[in-house]
A and B are shown apart, each in its own frame.
Chain A
């Protein structure tokens, strides 16, 4: 039963098993060593995902009220973790008969487990993850080359020491109840379904948030406080769209401060890119690819969750006398959603253009194609959101999953496009159908939303 809790989440489990199956298939069809790197990556990614999943579930057990009162709890927890770890080692057998590599893989797996668990309980340890991501650049700058053979041999020899360290830390973990403040937030988030993660974050009392989060929320709300004050002092008052915009704000909204922070971050990155030699630019490619994806994720999924959580509030707003004109609420609402999302996607398009210019990771044709894909993504994403907001039932979970899948799909398609020599998508018949369908979809969903409020 403990294993079931630690491995909760069928989508991640299916994905991990799929990666294992691909790794097995690859191992048995591999004729030479050319695809060895890919095999290693598959095993590593699948295992890391597994460790991350387990690490995220762990606080539910270690920091529950009952953990200190349940007989033999530490022993049972350790047993469950060891069983999962042993199972995770099965795919690493695929690297055999190379024993050194296999032992090195076990060492890497243990170290990854330790880092993931530490990261969950103490956010400061996220530094290890960033060090791992950013390491190649300073190594290249300092001209340090890593010999894979030597590294693996060292890791294989270090296995007893790493195992001993893991054993000590496992014993500590089984009794660990520290950093309760942070862990309780983690528990609240992991305890919630994917559609409700934002609602859980919103429910954290203001005083319990970090200083940075408090500043972030305050600076975001200040903008709207000023708007309200300005409107109070004038005879015109707030427009319908502004009123809806203010009503749809939360501490996690992607607002003006988010745009400023991201712009500053990108500017800094571009400045570094302009200063250093072009031969190092490829080290930045993962980051500059990931940033637009992160912005879409936070900008659109967050908007969906915020409005989903405020549906009843918006319904009460819609019956205010100022919205008595036919469709006035729905029109103002759609205006707000469209302007919000168009601004977000335009920002990403500009960001892509700037980074492409500096780092040269995509050419002009790929840029135009990426923007076209983003356009389709934008239309589909808004349509899905409108469909969900219109329904009385709560479909938050499937919608968020759908948005995540759509967003990952867009990323994969974009990355695939970068690798291939694809021509302009606008001339592709398939894409034209896709674009036309997305336009039809957004028109239909908007029309339905307009009707929804006019029929009330």
Chain B
């Protein structure tokens, strides 16, 4: 698979407060990556740094094989970004904003714009300042999707959307990613959204991508284990994230399920119960 985004040793700090520390990350073509992290973990900073919107202290970032701070216009035309905070010109009407953006792209799809504007009931004559936060978010998504990009970066795209809006947005992304060439990175707090569309999950914690794996693999590997022993035994659970002893065994969460250890336990007549976990719990365990 082609590497679309390659981050090496990214370091970024604000006023002597380190946000990203020697961060390494690779996103491959066709991946739909959900980026999770606590508040203030640096998700927005990471996305902005990748796209060269924020300056970085050190490190190397490349997108489509080009350094992100020297992207050619051809590569720029293949990227779309939806920021967390709207910084579009507030006194422009939606129609003017769309026309302003359109002039930069040869691949701009008027059909896509018309379709989304009508289905999301956006009033083109209204000024950006007159729209509700949810409507602004929808406009920003339209602006991002209209140039038919190959790399979409969303910073908390569904934060201001109501449930119906979120469903429409996710549907749109699902339609889009049916094309294997399209890569999506989106940060979110809503793990249910991530579970619906992402095929990979990345967790940003303490300035680094502490976990990056396929979503399915994650759900299979990060599990809750309950170990029941008939007599007192000293059992060490491999890849244990957090554990607690109880009267007749142990309880714990592992980052990876070791099949050899499971067989070993079976042979020792130790009963091990595997309980799958939701993504939200997995995230909490991995960042605890």
Using a CB–CB distance below 8 Å, which chain A residues touch chain B?
A: 1-2, 4-5, 8, 60, 64-66, 68-73, 76, 177, 187, 191-193
Contacts and interface: CB of A to CB of B under 8 A. Distances in A.
Interface string B61-92: 00000000000011011010101000111111
Given A71-B105, A191-B90, A5 B79 contact: no
B100 A1 contact: yes
Interface in B225-242: none
Contacts of B90: 191-192
A105 B23 CA distance: 54
B103 A1 contact: yes
Contacts of B146: none
Given A72-B104, A73-B104, A65 B89 contact: no
Contacts of A191: 89-91
A250 B16 CA distance: 32
Nearest to A187: B87
Contacts of B159: none
A70 B104 contact: yes
B32 to A, nearest CB: 20
Q: Is the interface of B mostly helix, strand, loop or mixed?
A: loop
A76 B76 CA distance: 14
Q: Most chain-B Cβ atoms within 10 A of its Cβ — which of A1, A64, A72? A: A1
Nearest to A184: B87
Given A1-B96, A65-B83, A71 B89 contact: no
A70 B76 CA distance: 6
Nearest to A67: B53
A65 B86 CA distance: 9
Given A68-B51, A71-B73, A193 B83 contact: no
Contacts of B74: 71
Contact of B99 (A1, A187, A193): A1
A64 B104 CA distance: 15
Given A60-B89, A69-B51, 7 more contacts: A64-B88, A65-B53, A69-B76, A71-B76, A72-B104, A191-B90, A193-B129
B181 interface: no
A71 B81 contact: no
Contacts of B76: 69-71
A8 to B, nearest CB: 7
Interface of B: 48, 51-53, 55, 73-74, 76-77, 79, 81, 83, 87-92, 96, 99-101, 103-105, 129
B89 A5 contact: yes
Contacts of B101: 66, 70
Contacts of B77: 71
A442 B99 CA distance: 47
21 contacts: A8-B91, A60-B89, A65-B53, A65-B83, A65-B87, A66-B81, A68-B52, A68-B53, A69-B76, A69-B79, A71-B73, A71-B77, A71-B104, A72-B73, A72-B104, A73-B104, A76-B104, A177-B55, A187-B87, A191-B89, A193-B91
A8 B52 CA distance: 29
A445 B233 CA distance: 88
Nearest to B69: A68
Nearest to A61: B89
A69 B68 CA distance: 10
Contacts of A65: 48, 53, 81, 83, 87
A5 B81 contact: no
A5 B104 contact: no
B84 to A, nearest CB: 10
A60 B129 CA distance: 15
A76 B103 CA distance: 9
B255 to A, nearest CB: 35
Contacts of B81: 65-66, 69
Contacts of A73: 104
B52 A4 contact: no
Contacts of A64: 87-89
Nearest to A72: B73
Contacts of B99: 1
Nearest to A191: B90
Contacts of A2: 100, 103
Q: Most chain-B Cβ atoms within 10 A of its Cβ — which of A2, A72, A177? A: A72
Contacts of A192: 90
A71 B102 CA distance: 11
A69 B267 CA distance: 59
A233 to B, nearest CB: 40
Nearest to B105: A71
Q: Most chain-B Cβ atoms within 10 A of its Cβ — which of A2, A69, A187? A: A69
Contacts of A70: 76, 101, 104
